[in-house]
């Protein structure tokens, strides 16, 4: 749910915050670690632009592998994670272990979730792609068996299991790309939480600084051509060239994919209509 504010200050005039039903508990101490050091710096010098330290926060260790098989777990809490878009859920397994997972829509405190050989395809349960019915909405998809989920992890995202052919499943990703993935890869049932996050507005630049985002400047707004290929007289006359990065690389539409040996797994490219 999005919350709007009365324009009592300039910072709240256009602000829209995402309000979620989360637990007020502190994060599980055994599953957090501090984020130490500056971001985007190497020996104190900027090596990655537009990044800063931001507000101090802890990293929550997320279980992307879901490798505690066939052991029921109770959802102890639904929590906010400052490091990612969707909410996270704390699972208490019957053997005493605790783990965090990405929380899909529909998961509530007190529910029982399981990973492995499942018969109940409810949000939050995880199993192999070969066990999931065609047409299901999934997230947290592995790219290689046993690697851990690396696809479909953003707020509100989901993929659709389109077909099964031989030893591969055909999946439609959120980008619109159709990709073949091994049937031995794990995936989690459901749609990830915080679907309205894309409609939130920070309201002022200071909130972005707290999140670790430094200001960015357009190339054409720079005065000195030594700062950017678009700088200087191009401000008024157009850039007069194909768009370039500050280091002269071609940008905006130029393919930069390097792992061409995996092109055979792409059924339909996301750029093709």
Per residue in 88-135, pLDDT tens?
999 999 999 999 999 999 999 999 999 998 888 999 999 999 999 999
Instruction: Give the other-Cβ count within 10 Å of 263's Cβ.
Output: 9
pLDDT above 70: residue 33: yes
The answer to whether the CB of 230 falls within 8 A of the CB of 239 is yes
Domain covering 217-273, topology: Ribosomal protein L2; domain 3 (4.10.950)
Judge if pTM exceeds 0.85: yes
> Rounded to an integer, what distance in angstroms lies between the CA atom of residue 120 and that of residue 181?
23
Task: Please state the rounded mean pLDDT for residues 25-38.
Answer: 90
Summarised one tens digit per residue, pLDDT across range 55-76 is: 999 999 999 999 999 999 999 9
Summarised one tens digit per residue, pLDDT across range 229-248 is: 999 888 788 888 889 999 99
The answer to whether the CB of 198 falls within 8 A of the CB of 18 is no
**Per-domain residue ranges for the chain?**
2-198, 217-273
Summarised one tens digit per residue, pLDDT across range 163-202 is: 999 999 999 999 999 999 999 999 999 999 999 999 999 9
Task: Please state the rounded mean pLDDT for residues 128-145.
Answer: 96
What does the DSSP 8-state code read for residue 260?
A: G
Domain 2-198 CATH assignment equals 3.40.640.10? no
Of all residues in the chain, the percent with pLDDT exceeding 90 is: 80
> Rounded to an integer, what distance in angstroms lies between the CA atom of residue 6 and that of residue 70?
50
> Rounded to an integer, what distance in angstroms lies between the CA atom of residue 139 and that of residue 13?
35
pLDDT bin (cut points 50, 70, 90) of residue 147 is: very high
What does the DSSP 8-state code read for residue 234?
A: H
Predicted pLDDT at 120: 87
The answer to whether the CB of 53 falls within 8 A of the CB of 36 is no
In whole numbers, what is the pLDDT of the chain averaged over residues? Answer: 93
The pair of three-digit structure tokens given for residue 25, joined into one six-digit string: 């508990």
pLDDT bin (cut points 50, 70, 90) of residue 151 is: very high
């Amino acid at each position: 749910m999005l919350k709007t504010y009365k324009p009592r200050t300039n910072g709240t005039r256009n602000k829209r915050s995402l309000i979620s039903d989360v637990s007020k508990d502190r994060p599980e101490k055994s599953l957090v670690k501090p984020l130490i050091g500056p971001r985007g710096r190497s020996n104190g010098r900027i090596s990655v632009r537009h990044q800063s330290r931001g507000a101090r926060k802890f990293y929550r260790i997320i279980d992307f592998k879901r490798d505690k098989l066939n052991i029921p777990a109770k959802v102890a809490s639904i929590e906010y994670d400052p490091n990612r878009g969707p909410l996270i859920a704390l699972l208490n397994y019957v053997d005493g272990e605790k783990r965090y997972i990405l929380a899909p829509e529909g998961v509530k405190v007190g529910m029982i979730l399981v990973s492995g050989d499942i018969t109940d395809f409810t949000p939050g349960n995880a199993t192999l792609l070969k066990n999931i019915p065609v047409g299901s909405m999934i997230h947290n998809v592995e790219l290689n068996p046993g690697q851990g989920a690396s696809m479909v992890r953003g707020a509100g995202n989901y993929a659709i299991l389109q077909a099964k052919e031989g030893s591969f499943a055909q999946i439609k990703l959120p980008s619109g790309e159709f990709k073949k993935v091994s049937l031995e890869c794990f995936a989690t049932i459901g749609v990830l939480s915080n679907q309205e996050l894309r409609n939130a507005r920070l309201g002022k630049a200071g909130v972005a600084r707290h999140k670790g985002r430094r200001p960015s400047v357009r190339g054409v707004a720079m005065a000195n051509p030594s700062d950017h290929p678009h700088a200087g007289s191009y401000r008024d006359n157009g850039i007069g060239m194909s768009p370039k990065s500050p280091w002269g690389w071609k940008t905006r539409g130029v393919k930069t994919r390097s792992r061409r040996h995996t092109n055979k797994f792409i059924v339909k490219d996301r750029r093709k209509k």
